[in-house]
Amino acid sequence: MTELDLATKAPESDAQEDSSVDSPTQSSPIMGDHEHCVTDRPAPAGQGPTGEIIKLNDIDVYISKPADYPHAPTRLLLFLTGGTGIKSVNNQIQADKYAAEGFLVLMPDMFGGETAPGGKEAYVADNSVSLLEQVKLKAVEIAKSFLIDMWLARVTEAKIMPILHKVIEAAHEEYSDAIKHGEGIYAVGYCVGGRYVLLLAKGTQEGGNDEESGMMKAGPFIKAGALAHAASVTPDDFKNLQAPLSLVCVENDALFTDEVRKVGEDLMTQDNVEHEVQVYPGVPHGFAVAGQYQESNIMDAQVTAYEQMLRWLKDH
């Protein structure tokens, strides 16, 4: 069992770039940790989404179905995104991959349409850019980091959990066949979405509003879950877990620190929660979401992480 890496501070991500500079010859991250949360990598070549966005209990949800549904048995999978949300092509492609493996996938708009402030246009700075231009770009990224911090302050458990409860309630009504076949709901989460897999796996729910969600607070709400490079996680999020969990972690991840990671694994072990933890070296936060990287080791790790999460879901 490898150690587990979590984060007390925040953002989520579907991408990471390593390209800003402090001098014309020395490179460093331009946005620091925040850039990891707000932009997509280039989409996989030749791939595009196959699902659609529908309404479930007044919540926008991207739905992706197996080709033979409803004629063949399937299981229901809740897909919780990072800050790029349900309209991200890469998130949609990632959801479609699970659908192709026999899951009816529901990817809810957890953020009420307010995705994280993006920084895509400010990806930066090779050594051909003047130092003055690099300083200007750095100032822009600092401002964007401030906006992301403000966004994260609004992305709270009190706001997100009622949305998830509404979608789960609707799923029990609309897709009861899939839930019955799987003997419960499965969940995957990436970045900030990873934290909410943990919250749905708890035996009781401290957040959410019964009147808004139409659901009781007693959990767990999922049968099993898998999460990749989670963010915004605190040690308390590991208390009272009651569903099997698989964790994909990044080595030396500032958004998912060793300290919280170790506390989390200790708590899961102490509470006899079935779990696995795999730490991936040499990859950026956000690597597990569909998207292209130039480095072959990152692309290979992306495939391995998906296989880890998929296997866990199928085995439970």
Compute the distance between CA of residue 89 and CA of residue 5 in angstroms, rounded to an integer.
Answer: 27
CA angle 10, 14, 16 (to 5 degrees): 85
DSSP 27-79: EE-SSGGGGGGT-BPPPPTT-----EEEEETTEEEEEE--TTTTTS--EEEEE
Three-state DSSP class for residue 277: strand
Domain 20-315 has CATH 3.40.50.1820: yes
Q: How high is the pLDDT of residue 146? A: 59
Q: Looking at 100-203, which runs of residues are DSSP E strands?
A: 103-108, 186-190
Domain extents in the chain: 20-315
- Name the stretches of the chain with pLDDT < 70: 1-38, 116-153, 205-217
Tokens representing residue 314 in the block: 């199928």
Task: Name the one residue in this structure whose structure tokens are 């934290």.
Answer: 195
Task: Indicate the pairing of strand 245-250 with strand 20-23.
Answer: unpaired
Q: How high is the pLDDT of residue 238? A: 96
Please report, for the chain, how many H helices and E strands are present, in that order: 8, 10
Q: How high is the pLDDT of residue 229? A: 93
Tokens representing residue 178 in the block: 């899939």
> Which tens digits make up the pLDDT trace of 162-215?
999 999 999 999 999 999 999 999 999 999 899 999 999 999 755 444 444 444
Strand-pair partners of 277: 247
pTM for the complete prediction? 0.79
Compute the distance between CA of residue 248 and CA of residue 5 in angstroms, rounded to an integer.
Answer: 9
Q: How far from the centroid of its chain's Cα atoms is residue 271's Cα?
A: 24
Whole-number Cα distances in Å, 16 to 29, 30, 153:
9, 10, 21
Compute the distance between CA of residue 230 and CA of residue 161 in angstroms, rounded to an integer.
Answer: 17
Q: How high is the pLDDT of residue 17? A: 38
Helix or strand run (H / E) with residue 173: helix 157-174
